[in-house]
């Protein structure tokens, strides 16, 4: 069981040769491949992170712009509403004024006509009263 002979050094040499050969065909190329993949993944990841950050910035910017625009539109709407209100108010006021004026004019005309009618009535009263007098007293009055 324990007989040492030339197998020992030969085995050592064999092992060393295996080590050198494996270093050439196994460890070096595959470690290089692993390292390459690592760096590839790392660079891709940083690139992706940058892109993600960019996209997030853009999204934030757009959102801000959207909010601004919305606020502006709101402002425009309120402005327009206020203006419309004002215009409506002025229009109403004008119309009321006009109506007032027309009413006053009509009142005036009515008053004038009433006065004229009263005047003509008074004249007619005089004529009528004369006629009544004439009828009652006859021609004595004029004689």
Partner 1 sequence: MLSFLDTLTTFPLAELEVGNHFYWQLGGLRLHGQVLSQAGLWIGLLLTASVLGTRNIQRVPQGMQNFMEYALEFVRDIARNQLGEKEYRPWLPFIGTLFLFIFVSNWSGALLPWRLIKLPVGELAAPTSDINTTVALALLTSLAYFYAGFRKRGLGYFAKYVEPTPILLPIAILEDFTKPLSLSFRLFGNILADELVVAVLVLLVPLIVPIPVMLLGLFTSAIQALVFATLAGAYIHEALEGHGDEAHEEH
- The residues of the shown chain that bind partner 1, judged by CB under 8 A, are 1-12, 14-23, 25-27, 29-31, 33-34, 36-37, 40
Q: Cβ of residue 44: shortest distance to partner 1, in angstroms?
A: 11
Considering beta carbons, is residue 23 or 96 the nearer one to partner 1? Answer: 23
Among residues 12 and 118, whose Cβ is nearest to partner 1? Answer: 12
| Nearest one of 25, 4, 21, 1 to 13, comparing CA atoms | 21
Q: Two tokens at 114?
A: 């009433």
**What is the C-alpha R_g of the chain?**
59
Nearer to partner 1, 28 or 114 (CB): 28
C-alpha 76/C-alpha 79 separation (Å) is 5
- CB burial readout 77-107, b (16+ within 10 A) else e: eeeeeeeeeeeeeeeeeeeeeeeeeeeeeee
Q: Decide whether 39 or 124 has the Cβ nearer to partner 1.
A: 39
Closest distance to partner 1 from the beta carbon of 76 (Å): 56
């Amino acid at each position: 069981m324990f007989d040492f002979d030339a197998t020992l050094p030969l085995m050592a040499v064999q092992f060393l040769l295996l080590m050198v050969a494996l270093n050439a065909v196994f460890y070096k190329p595959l470690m290089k491949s692993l390292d390459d993949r690592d760096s590839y993944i790392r660079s891709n990841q940083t690139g992706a992170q940058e892109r993600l950050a960019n996209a997030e910035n853009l999204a934030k910017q757009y959102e801000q712009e959207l909010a601004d625009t919305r606020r502006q539109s709101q402002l425009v709407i309120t402005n327009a509403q206020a203006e419309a209100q004002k215009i409506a108010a002025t229009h109403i006021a004008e119309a009321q004024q006009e109506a007032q004026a027309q009413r006053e004019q009509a009142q005036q005309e009515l008053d004038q006509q009433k006065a004229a009618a009263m005047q003509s009535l008074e004249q007619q009263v005089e004529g009528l009263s004369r006629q009544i007098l004439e009828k009652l007293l006859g021609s004595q009055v004029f004689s």
